[in-house]
Amino acid sequence: MTEIKSSLPFSAVLGTTESGLSTLSYNAFHVPTAFLHNCGTWEGTAKRVLKDGTLVEEHLVRVKIEIEEARYVQTNTVRINTPQEVTAQYFGYFSEGKLVFPLTDEVYTLGGEKATEFSGQAWAVTDDLIVYRGSRTLQNCKTYYNELIALTHANAQHRVRTTQLFEDGFYKLVTMIEEAKVEAR
């Protein structure tokens, strides 16, 4: 893997050089800068939409991302300030520039159900764009999801996430989340 170090200041538009070329840089632990820009606490609204365009649900979400050296912890909270509020944690590590969530049966969904066979990987495409692929089994149904995470402002204070969900190999719905950083790391 070729490692490109960005010489741009953080205040520059993330992900591009003056020539418009995308950048991809890493810290000393080979953690891509895109993941470091996502550290902190994010809040926003998640909208789940079926493939026919029907809005299934809309709720407030909070995501806290912490990275220490090559270790990663993500704490997701959904349905904020409601009786159905649920929190789930995900633990991963960076290897060869990728975020890896190892295979585990010790994970709970944001609906509060225990999932088995959970695993995933995420890659930085540029300093402001991440692609994630995960899977789990829930109620004997194998679920896969693809997520695109894009920082939308030069100061890395806003991001948009779009997740495609597949159940037993069939596309089911998309989740769209627009978030603002409410607490830096």
Instruction: For residue 10, tell me if it sits in a domain.
Output: no
pLDDT digit string, tens, across residues 97-114: 999 999 999 888 767 788
pLDDT at 18: 63
Could you tell me if residue 57 is inside a domain?
A: yes
Is 87 within a domain?
A: yes
Q: How far apart are the first and last CA of the chain?
A: 28
The per-residue pLDDT for 16 is 57
Looking at residue 108, its pLDDT comes to 80
- Overall domain count for the chain: 1
Under-50 pLDDT residues of the chain? 1-13
What contacts 24+ positions apart, CB below 8 Å, involve 120-126? 120/92, 122/35, 122/98, 123/32, 123/97, 123/98, 123/99, 124/24, 124/32, 124/33, 124/34, 124/35, 124/97, 125/22, 125/24, 125/34, 126/14, 126/15, 126/16, 126/22, 126/23, 126/24, 126/34
Q: What is the pLDDT of residue 171?
A: 96
The model's pTM? 0.85
Domain assignment present for 23 = no
What pLDDT is recorded for position 3? 35
CATH number at residue 152: 2.40.128.20
Structural domain for 125, as ranges: 33-183
94 in a structural domain? yes
Sequence letter at residue 118: F
